[in-house]
Amino acid sequence: MKVRDYECDMQGIVNNAVYQNYLEFARHEYLESRGVSFAELTKLGVIIAMVRAEIDYKRSLKAGDEFTVSVMASRPSRIRLQFEQEIRRAASDELMLKAVITTTAVNERNRPYFPAVLENIME
């Protein structure tokens, strides 16, 4: 991916919240690569709810930087999906950010709900 100028704040670096957008986009791409579309989940009444985000900011991406976002999924408990993610600047492979994102899947009444389609996203 590539930093877009509007994602930078007046310090000329990517705004802190924008990294969460990058992380989310990579997670959704990951799910899609396993046949799970976020839009379809929403239609099925499955809500992937974030439980906790731990984000370590190492260095700042700047306007025009190209970067990669990695995703490693695990299932630490029956009702948790966890994603370990890293953002690295493409040019130097430097680590810019590390995150552990813990989520759960719930139905519209906010009860844990892991339909079969979510079972095989790990590998």
Give the residue with the Cβ less far from a copy of itself, 55 or 75.
55
Active site residues: 9
The burial of 43, by beta-carbon neighbours within 10 Å (0-12 exposed, 13-18 middle, 19 or more buried), is given as: exposed
Give the residue with the Cβ less far from a copy of itself, 88 or 96.
96
Residues that bind a copy of itself (CB under 8 A): 4-6, 8-13, 15-18, 20-21, 24-25, 28, 32, 37-39, 42, 47, 49-57, 60, 62-64
> Smallest distance from the beta carbon of 37 to a copy of itself, in angstroms?
7
The dihedral sign for the CA sequence 33, 34, 35, 39: negative
